[in-house]
Amino acid sequence: MMVKTTLQGGLIYLTMVFFTATLVAFGFKRRTLAKGFWFAGFLAALSSVIWRGIHTGHPPMQNLFEFFLCMAAFLWPLSQLSRWKNDMDTTVKDATLGLIILFPVGFVFSEAVRRLPPALQSPLFVPHVASYVAGYIMLARAALMSLPMFKRSSTKVEIVGADIASRQTVVVGFLLITIGLVLGSLWGKLCWGHYWQWDPKETWSLATWLIYGVYFHLRMKTGLRKPRQLATFLWIGLLFIVLTLTWINLSRMFSGMHNYA
Amino acid sequence: MKKLINKIAGLGVAVCGCGVLSLASIVLAFFGSEKSIQLMATAPALGISAFIALLLILRGGYAVFTTRYHSALLHLGCACVVSGWLMGQVAPYIGGEDKPVKGSMAMVDGDVMNALWEGAYLTNYVGKVPFTVKLDKFIIDYYESSHVDQSAGRMPPIKEYRSRITITEPGKDPYVKNVRVNHPVYVDGYHIYQMSWGQSQNRQGQPVTYTVLQFIRDPGLWFVYSGFVIIFAGILLFCIRMFKAKAILPSSDREVTQ
């Protein structure tokens, strides 16, 4: 646990304060104020990402600190998209997700700047990582949107609404992680000589991709007859993502070619 | 026919298959990269992969027949990737020493070679490439030294390292290429990679810097790349379908979708 006393740290904590204020304002049913805080939080998160990019001189997607920072800045545009596309207000879920994402950024990960090693100097670096950032966020949101599918008290209309919102979100997330996986393969071929090395991070990513494969096939097989089962697979997918970002990234048990990430 | 295909490559099989493969993938993560590569090169693993490719082709082919194009593209794309990977896996058994699929050369400035080696210390001979490589110069560039580097009394990190090589193909004029990390050079079916470098001593006991170039030939590569493109097209169609699809409920509950 460490507190950052730099401008970067200040921007991160400011974002966290705005996200918390959003939740508090929502709790007191001050929706306009909450929206204002939510947007201010986005501006702070965006400033944090931009400052990191300027400060380091490279796209801020090199390590977990930068990866999570970018994830937090993606949330506001996505919640606006949900409002526009699915007519759903996901501000509380997104702000909570933002706080969960920013906690390790603010208090656990180091912000020390590393100069890019030769392997990371590739035009595929940003699209590969960015599609995973966006994909993981979408899939995390899909899991949150599926929550009414677990409740016994949910009406059928609520279940259908949750299904449509989570399904549309998960399919975009799936598209993005597929792009990430394919770009990673192409980059692996250019950098390491092979498109697939059975590296622990690769195999966990494939496992995640396949879990969403289970979800889509199950969705087609059973329709909405077993909503809880469908939602369970979305949460297993999210569990795999969390494990990929934490245990697989940080444990020595899974050391491999992605070690600098 | 329809019943048979749905039985051996239907949605139930797909749900279980994806689940089992997902778990198998996690198990491989515990083995680590090296052991997993060895395990996946064994006959049972190749047999299972070939069976999966066949199921995917069956499902994809049937989807073409029933005009479910997103499903056809997705399954045939996956089949293409698995088949391409299988082609790469069986290539060593077909090529032999005349056409090695993978090997490395450790070279110092001025060396001329065409033999490939493998193993931790590159002591096992694997074969010869159909051209010769001369290392003109191995070059290392460092980042500018920062005040942190200076106060710690250390070298700044490496920015780039590259091997300038002259390639001589039979019947062609020699030409010069730069092999850099992330920028392999393609020569006569082989991709040449800048893998690593190190320092050692020559026979006179003087320090020398060597570079390790890796040579890889993969006949299934274009199958895999084509598979990627087909999968991408399939997912785009699938996205459109998923956005248009209405909720499917048991018949008694249909009114809620109206």
**Length of chain B in terms of residues written:** 258
Query: pLDDT by residue (tens digit) across A25-80?
Result: 999 989 899 999 999 999 999 999 999 999 888 888 777 788 889 989 989 998 89
The candidate with the shortest Cα–Cα distance to A94, out of A47, A29, A143, A61, is: A143
Angstrom distance (rounded) from CA A171 to CA B242: 7
Average pLDDT over every residue of B217-243: 93
C-beta atoms of A211 and B253 within 8 A? no
**pLDDT at residue B96, as a whole number:** 65
Last residue of a domain, one of A96, A115, A134: A115
Whether B212 and B122 share a structural domain: yes
Average pLDDT over every residue of B7-34: 91
Strand partners, B212: B106, B196
Whether A200 and A183 share a structural domain: yes
Whether A46 and A154 share a structural domain: no
Whether A89 and A153 share a structural domain: no
Q: How confident is the model at residue B114 (pLDDT cuts 50, 70, 90)?
A: very high
Whether B129 and B233 share a structural domain: no
Residue of B nearest to A207 (CA): B22
Whether A139 and A208 share a structural domain: yes
Calculate helix-pair angle for A31-56, A64-85, nearest 10 degrees.
140
Q: At residue B108, does pLDDT exceed 80?
A: yes
Whether A133 and A40 share a structural domain: no
Whether B89 and B114 share a structural domain: no
Q: Nearest by CB to B33, which of A195, A199, A253? A: A199
Q: How many domains does chain B have?
A: 2
Q: Nearest by CB to A198, which of B37, B218, B253? A: B37
Query: pLDDT by residue (tens digit) across B135-147?
Result: 999 999 998 888 8
Q: How many domains does chain A have?
A: 2
Q: How confident is the model at residue B256 (pLDDT cuts 50, 70, 90)?
A: very low
Whether B189 and B160 share a structural domain: yes
Strand partners, B192: B185, B215
User: A17 touching B, CB under 8 A?
Assistant: no
Query: pLDDT by residue (tens digit) across A76-113?
Result: 998 898 888 777 788 898 999 999 989 989 988 888 88
Angstrom distance (rounded) from CA B40 to CA A88: 45
Whether A127 and A92 share a structural domain: no
**Which residues of chain B does A254 touch, with a Cβ-Cβ cutoff of 8 Å?**
29, 32
Average pLDDT over every residue of B199-207: 86
φ, ψ of residue B139 in degrees (nearest 5) = -120, 135
Whether A143 and A80 share a structural domain: no
Query: pLDDT by residue (tens digit) across B33-75?
Result: 889 999 999 999 999 999 999 999 999 999 999 999 999 999 9
Whether A51 and A13 share a structural domain: yes
**Cβ pairs A/B, distance under 8 A:** 148
Last residue of a domain, one of A90, A115, A140: A115
Whether B71 and B164 share a structural domain: no
Whether B159 and B178 share a structural domain: yes
**Which residues of chain B does A156 touch, with a Cβ-Cβ cutoff of 8 Å?**
249, 253, 256
Exposure string for A126-159, b = 16+ CB within 10 A, e = fewer: ebbbbbbbbbbbbbbbbbbbbebbeeeebeeeeb
Whether A145 and A83 share a structural domain: no
- The domain of B153 spans 102-216
Q: At residue A245, does pLDDT exceed 90?
A: no
- The domain of A102 spans 1-115
User: A244 touching B, CB under 8 A?
Assistant: no
Edge-first strand listing for the sheet containing B112-118: B175-180, B158-168, B124-142, B112-118, B102-107, B207-216, B190-201, B185-187
Q: At residue A250, does pLDDT exceed 80?
A: no
Between positions 149 and 178 of A, the ones with CB within 8 A of B are 156-157, 160, 163-164, 167-168, 171-172, 174-175, 178
Last residue of a domain, one of A75, A100, A115: A115
Between positions 116 and 155 of A, the ones with CB within 8 A of B are 117-119, 121-122
Whether B110 and B143 share a structural domain: yes
C-beta atoms of B25 and A172 within 8 A? no
Amino acid at residue number A179: I
Q: Look over chain B and give the mean of its residue pLDDT values, rounded to a whole number.
A: 89
Are A86 and A168 a contacting pair, CB within 8 Å?
yes
Whether B157 and B193 share a structural domain: yes
**Which residues of chain B does A187 touch, with a Cβ-Cβ cutoff of 8 Å?**
182
What percent of chain B stands above pLDDT 70?
93
Whether A105 and A232 share a structural domain: no
Task: Tell me what ipTM this predicted complex has.
Answer: 0.89
